[in-house]
Amino acid sequence: MKTSRRKFIALSAVAAAGLSTVTNVIANSQVRQKPVLGKMKLSFEPYNLALRHVFTIAGSSRTSTPVMLTRIDFSGFTGFGEASMPPYLGETQETASKFLSMIDLSGFSDPFQMEDILNYVDNLGEGNRAAKASVDIALHDLVGKLIGQPWYRIWGLNPELTPNTSFTIGIDTAEVVKQKVNEASAYKILKVKLGRENDREMIQTIRSATNVPLAVDVNQGWKDKDKALEMIYWLKEMGIVMIEQPLPKERIDDMAWLTARSPLPIFGDESVQRLPDVVKAAGVYHGINIKLMKCTGMREAFIMAKTAKSLGMKVMIGCMTETSCAISAAAQLSPLAEFADLDGNLLISNDLYSGIQIKAGKITLSDLPGIGIVKI
Ligand code: MG
């Protein structure tokens, strides 16, 4: 006790001596800094991501993903953004180009007025969610750089709490699946796309190569709720830890029935696009899969994550095939998530940025400001 009391007195003396300096620093930092005002310039260019493997989900296969790269220049700083547009979601480089051409930021002189700027962008038209996200991400990157901090810090999130990311193994022949599983040995959780006739075979093939936990994404591919429940019980026995979008998104009552009985947590993906869908998902799913390209970007994604948690739901952060730009933007939110599926940049061979790192399977955020990327 004596020691700690002496220590306390000593510390108090040090604190008192330093107080005048600290007071000065606080006083200086509390002087209101005039915001830097100027012109924001939005520019954009199309880019095509080359996929390392042919990508197959229930419904389609492809070898590339079109994206639109955006940037906002302001007062010597540049914020980078990206829209990823897998064909099945309806946006294209043409629609994005048309939408982004309508944006006129000359009415705004302060990038910190993100609410006004992003509401303006959102209200320019229906849909175009990936294009909107590309502006949102660039603006967040810019503002983070102006503050000099990464967004996870601005949001007050603990970078130690990032989850492991899953790594997706696409549907393929047994031989290729085994090869993919071996290539993915660094990951602590793998994601498997199901929703075809050979679902059990696919799981057994993966299980013949690895025992790591598996996340399953059905992409609405199961049609019968009783069979789905039976399958989920079997999957639990096979070491699966979560199920994504088992039934078609419009089958709300069947989904709620399945969720109430499922021994594994069920996440809505196709069912949950934007903020109002989070409220509708309560009681229907155990959790939601948030993707920047679905929800128009980081601003809404953050609110969706907080809303889901307030409704007692779990959060997953997902992605499309994207460069490290959009992936690192999404990763800023990942301390709020129980599951992350941020492997989109790992599935391409022509990334343009370096951003978050995956260390021993875990998402590792850097100290870099904004969304934490540098151009390669
Ligand atoms: Mg999904």
CA 220 to centroid of ligand 1, rounded, Å: 9
CA 116 to centroid of ligand 1, rounded, Å: 31
Q: What pLDDT, on the 0 to 100 scale, is given for residue 30?
A: 65
CA 281 to centroid of ligand 1, rounded, Å: 15
CA 191 to centroid of ligand 1, rounded, Å: 10
pTM value? 0.89
List the beta strands (DSSP E) in the chain: 41-57, 60-74, 77-84, 166-169, 189-193, 214-217, 240-244, 266-268, 287-290, 314-317, 339-340, 353-354, 357-359, 362-364, 374-375
In the chain, what percentage of residues exceed pLDDT 70? 90
CA 55 to centroid of ligand 1, rounded, Å: 13
CA 112 to centroid of ligand 1, rounded, Å: 33
| Chain mean pLDDT for the chain | 91
Quick one: average pLDDT of 351-365? 97
Helix (H, G, I), strand (E, B) or coil at 116: helix
Quick one: average pLDDT of 325-333? 98
Calculate the dihedral angle through the C-alpha atoms of 172, 176, 178, 184, rounding to the nearest 10 degrees: -90
CA 7 to centroid of ligand 1, rounded, Å: 55
CA 254 to centroid of ligand 1, rounded, Å: 18
Bridge partners of residue 353, in order along the sequence: 375
Q: What pLDDT, on the 0 to 100 scale, is given for residue 356?
A: 96
**How many Å apart are CA 351 and CA 345, to the nearest integer?**
7
CA 149 to centroid of ligand 1, rounded, Å: 31
**How many Å apart are CA 189 and CA 163, to the nearest integer?**
10
pLDDT one-digit tens code per residue, 222-281: 999 999 999 999 999 999 999 999 999 999 999 999 999 999 999 999 999 999 999 999
Can you list the domains of the chain with their CATH numbers? 41-147 (3.30.390.10), 152-375 (3.20.20.120)
Q: Is 110 exposed, middle or buried (0-12, 13-18, 19+ CB in 10 A)?
A: middle
CA 348 to centroid of ligand 1, rounded, Å: 18
